[in-house]
Every structure is written in structure tokens, then in C-alpha cells.
Amino acid sequence: MNHATPNEDRRVYDVIVLGAGPTGENVAERARAAGLRTVIVERELLGGECSYWACEPSKALLRPVLARADARRVPGLRQAVDGPLDVAAVLAHRDEIVFHWKDDDQVGWLDSVSVDLVRGHGRLDGPRRVTVQIPDGDPVPLTARHAVAVCTGTDTAVPGIPGLDSVRPWTSREATSAHRVPGRLAVVGGGVVAVEMATAWQALGSQVAMLVRGDAGLLPRMEPFAGRLVADALREAGVDIRFGVSVASLAREDGEVRMTLSDGGEAAADEILFATGRAPRTADLGLETIGLTPGTWLTADDTCRVTAVPGGWLYAVGDVNHRALLTHQGKYQARIAGAAIGARARGEPVDETRWGAHTATADEAAVPQVVFTDPEVAAVGLTTREAERAGRRVDVVDYDIAHVAGAHQYAEGYRGRARMLVDTDSGTVVGATFAGPGVAELLYSATVAVVGEVPLERLWHAVPAFPTISEVWLRMLETYRDRQRQPSSAP
């Protein structure tokens, strides 16, 4: 691989990519496939947050937890899995999944697609210019002929609480990479990271307490029934969930974290995890050199080009543009951005309407997400609340998944619920949410229905196999049909 060195003159590339997570890697690959000389700049591990501290390790921790929960619901099998998890084996598997926090394979992949690499902290230094501070060396100046793509992602947004620094709190990074199980773990927050890590560490032996500031329940951005089902399961597993309370101050004394709470109460734990949202990793990116404010989100158009920067050379792809903070959405945006950069570099017109419609559909109206808790939650498109706020006329169709034959095969005493939102003007599905064991695999069919704007009369001909949980689709369509056949009660 051609690595830049401090002794070279300013290196000139067609495209400079800042950040080598999944998003940055995909932008770089697409730009190189378009024939553009491309370099990627990364100060940590190639593969980024998802590969080493988020998606991959968290699911490695959760998979045995969910597999055991599923097995306990199967007659004839539950007795075989009544014991505790083998914590050492779970953590060792997690370490294998993240390649022991080494990125040799990723470096080899980057070499195979002929993308250059500069390891160090990259900062913008005016239009189309980047300066990289490499470890133990002089700065490396880079120039882009066509584009600079910012793919630096996000960090945990930790609130400014008195005593915070003294307790050395966990963020999602520590929660997914820890090598010992804390006896007591306080989890601050009620969103996806909070519920997933509460699920994992409670099962691995911690006594988990969740402190949720609001009173909207867990997973507040999803349908309320999903959060209720997850809360019920967490409580049954032994998690203490407290709503309407936040942390007012912190201190670490005699090895434990001591908390003063907003309601005047006190609590203690061995570790405290803040899962309180994300902030863009742009504070030390040199945004001030191009007229932007450090630490802010980068607003981008539907081809991921930053709208506030003249000349159209700066792109913001993935979490940093705040469109949809999910790895798969970042990779999707990267494919769009890489193709757009290539087309513009060749002087070809980019059909903004075509590109924009495609990207906007995926980033705004059809974002799929799975929450890997017990029960699982899978959702795509609008929630009921979002549809109401947008002024969309929708029919809400709910169905108890336990009434589907496949659910009985999957688990004894199955508990789950499905919701489908039908746009009454177009006759298409604009949102779907499933909560229950094994529902993650229902999500892609829902995503296709929403993205493809498939009319309900066509969905009738998408026949679900029997006996599978996917038969819930047929039951929701039948419920909607029967409702439509009922005589109107209007005068």
C-alpha cells in the first residue's frame, strides 16, 4: 500500500475520506471504483466504531443471551439451559468477533481495493485541504481535486454532571469492551444502547438499575407497545427500572459510584453507563477553516454534499450528517455519495431528483432498525406518532403475534405484537413495528413493502410460508380488510 510519509510534498488525491468506519470505507471503495485516486485518513482502527465498540461486539454479547431466552421457551429444551451463562466464553467470543481490537484484515482489504491510507488525526485546513497529524511525526498535508468526505461518526453525548470526571463513567465503548462483569451497573438512559446493554449485562451477572429521565417509557422513539414489552421483560430478568429520575451529581468513594438523584434520593453502583444520545465527532475537525462551527452536525443534501459550503466539494456521510444514525444507513449513504462524487468528477450531471428521491426514502421514510433485546423489536418507516405529526392519514392495524401458528412453534407462551400503518390515500404500508421473539427476520419484508410502496392488493399475493411468524403479515391484511368491510357508522 502507498502510505504517505512526512517527507513527501503535499499529496494530491481526487478524493480524501476522513474516517475509516464502514461508511468511510464504502465511500473510498466507490470513489476508487469510479477511477478516482483516493486516500482514507483514520486515527484509530480501520473498521471504526461499529466493528470494535458498537454493532459487532454488542451483538456478540447479546446473542447468547437471546439464544438462551429462546431455548427456555421451548419444551424439552429449557431444562438444558437453566444454568448461568459461561461469562468467560461469551467475552472470549466477543474478543474474537472484534479481532482482539486489531485491524490487520481491514488494512488488507483496503490494500486490495487500491485505496491509500494515512494513519493519524485529519483536520480540514481550508477548501479541499486536509492536514494529518501522524503519531510521532510531522504533519502530512493532503489536497483533494474533487471531494473531501467527512465520515467521522459520533461520540456518546455525556451530560455535564458535577463529579462526572471523577467516576470514569462507561460509555458504549466501555460497555461493549469490558473484560469483567460489574456487580452493580447503573444505566442512565432508556434508548437502544441502554436497553441492549441492560439486557446483556444483567444476563452476564450484573445487577442492573436503569435511570430514565423522562416518563415516556423505554425506546421512546418507537411505538409505545415495544417499550412496554421490553420493560416488562427486563423487570422479569431482575432489572430495576426507574422512570422520571436523572443523576444530579456523582462521586467515586471506596471504589463505588455514588449518585445523588434528581428526586433527592441516592444510589450506588460499581460502574455507571451513560447511554444518553450521540454527538457529532466534529469538534476538532478544522471546520472553522471553512466557515463552519466546530462540534456541529453537518447538514447535507440528498447526495450527502454539505449544503453550507460553496463549491460542492465537501461531503458529510453517515452519522455525522444526522440523517439516520445507523451503520446500515451510513453504508447506504456511502454508496450514494461515492457514485455522486464519481459522476461529478467525470463531468456527468447528477439527477438530483432521482438521487434525492432514492436517498430521502431510505433516510427519512424507510429507516429499518432492530433492537436486540428479549423480546426483539424491529421497525421501519413511520410510527403512529410520527404519522400524526406529519399530517398523514393512516389506519393503524394491530395484531397479537401469539395468535399466529408459527409463534407457537417458535416459543411456548409467546408474547409479541405487530403494527402496520396503512396510508389511506395511497393504500400502501408506510410503517411497521414488530415486538416479540424472532421478529428481526420480519423486517426486510416490511422494508421492501414500505420502500416499494407496494399496494395492499399486491401484498395479498405475497404468500407467507406456514408455519412461520411471517404469517402475521396475512393476519394484518385480513384484519385491515375486515375493518374496511364493516359498514360505516357515520350518519
The residue range of the domain holding 36 is 11-47+103-155+279-365
Q: Does residue 60 belong to any structural domain of this protein?
A: no
Domain CATH code at residue 420: 3.30.390.30
Residues 151 and 199 in one domain: no
φ and ψ at 357, to 5 degrees?
A: -60, -40
Q: Do 34 and 114 belong together in one domain?
A: yes
Neighbours of 68 (CB within 10 A): 17
Please enumerate in sequence order all residues whose Cβ is within 8 A of that of 76, keeping only pairs 6 or more positions apart, or say none: none
Q: Do 31 and 110 share a structural domain?
A: yes
Query: Buried b vs exposed e over 26-39: b needs ≥16 C-beta within 10 Å?
Result: bbbbbbbebebbbb
Q: Of 215, 246, 276, which closes a domain? A: 276
Cβ–Cβ under 8 Å, residues 419 and 433: yes
The whole-angstrom distance between residue 32's C-alpha and the CA centroid of its chain comes to: 26
The grid coordinates listed for 254 are 471506596
Residue 93 lies in a domain: no
101, 102, 106, 111 alpha-carbon torsion, rounded to 10°: 160
Residue 98 in any domain: the answer is no
Predicted local distance difference test score (pLDDT) of residue 348:
85
pLDDT for res 353: 52
12: left (phi over 0), alpha (psi -120 to 50) or beta: beta
Considering its fold, how many domains does the chain have in total?
A: 3
Determine the residue type at 230.
V
Task: Give pLDDT tens digits for 96-111.
Answer: 999 999 999 999 999 9
CA angle 97-20-91, nearest 5°?
20
Answer yes or no: are the C-beta atoms of 189 and 212 closer than 8 Å: yes
- How far is residue 15 from each of residues 3, 26, 128, 147, 475, measured CA to CA in Å? 15, 13, 9, 5, 50
Q: Are residues 271 and 286 in the same domain?
A: no
The three state secondary structure string of the chain is CCECCCCCCCEEEEEEEECCCHHHHHHHHHHHHCCCCEEEEECCCCCHHHHHHCHHHHHHHHHHHHHHHHHHCCCCCHHHHCCCCCHHHHHHHHHHHCHHHCCHHHHHHHHHCCCEEEECEEEECCCCEEEEECCCCCEEEEEEEEEEEECCCEEECCCCCCCHHHHCCECHHHHHHCCCCCCEEEEECCCHHHHHHHHHHHHCCCEEEEEECCCCCCCCCCCHHHHHHHHHHHHHHCCEEEECCCEEEEEEECCEEEEEECCCCEEEECEEEECCCEEECCCCCCHHHHCCCCCCCCCECCCCEECCCCCCCEEECHHHHCCCCCHHHHHHHHHHHHHHHHHHHCCCCCCHHHHHHHHHHHHHHCCCEEECCCCEEEEEECCHHHHHHCCCCEEEEEEEHHHCHHHHHHCCCCCCEEEEEEECCCCEEEEEEEEECCHHHHHHHHHHHHHCCCEHHHHCCCCCCCCCHHHHHHHHHHHHHHHHHCCCCCC
In a domain, 76, yes or no: no
Residues of the chain falling short of pLDDT 70: 1-10, 351-361, 488-491
Same domain, 147 and 287: yes
172 grid coordinates: 458504549
Quickly tell me which residue has 468467560 as its cell.
88
Packed helices 352-360 and 327-345: angle between N→C axes, nearest 10 degrees: 170
Per-residue pLDDT at 490: 45
Q: In this structure, are 239 and 310 located in the same domain?
A: no
Note whether 383 and 353 are same-domain residues: no
Asked if residue 171 lies in contact with residue 231, where contact means CB atoms within 8 angstroms, the answer is: no
* Domain-located, residue 453: yes
Say whether both 242 and 149 belong to one domain.
no
Per the domain annotation, does 293 fall within a domain? yes
Choose the final residue of a domain: 310, 341, 365: 365
Domain contains 74: no
Rounded Cα gap, residues 86 and 436, in angstroms = 25
Q: Residues 130, 191: one domain?
A: no
If asked whether residues 142 and 28 sit together in one domain, one would say: yes
d(CA 371, CA 275): 14
Q: Are 183 and 257 in contact (CB under 8 A)?
A: no
Taking the C-alpha atoms of residue 123 and residue 133, their distance in angstroms, rounded to an integer, is 8
Cell 467521522, residue? 152
Q: Are residues 120 and 35 in the same domain?
A: yes
Kindly state whether residues 118 and 17 are assigned to the same domain: yes
CA distance 366 to 446: 9
Domain boundary among 276, 301, 336: 276
Structural domain includes residue 70: no
Instruction: Report the C-alpha gap between 165 and 403 in whole angstroms.
Output: 51
Report the CATH number at residue 291: 3.50.50.60
The residue among 391, 384, 491, 372 whose CA lies nearest residue 438 is: 372
Residue 4, class by beta-carbon neighbours within 10 Å (0-12 exposed, 13-18 middle, 19+ buried)?
buried
Global pTM value: 0.93
Apex 373 CA angle, 369 and 376, nearest 5: 60
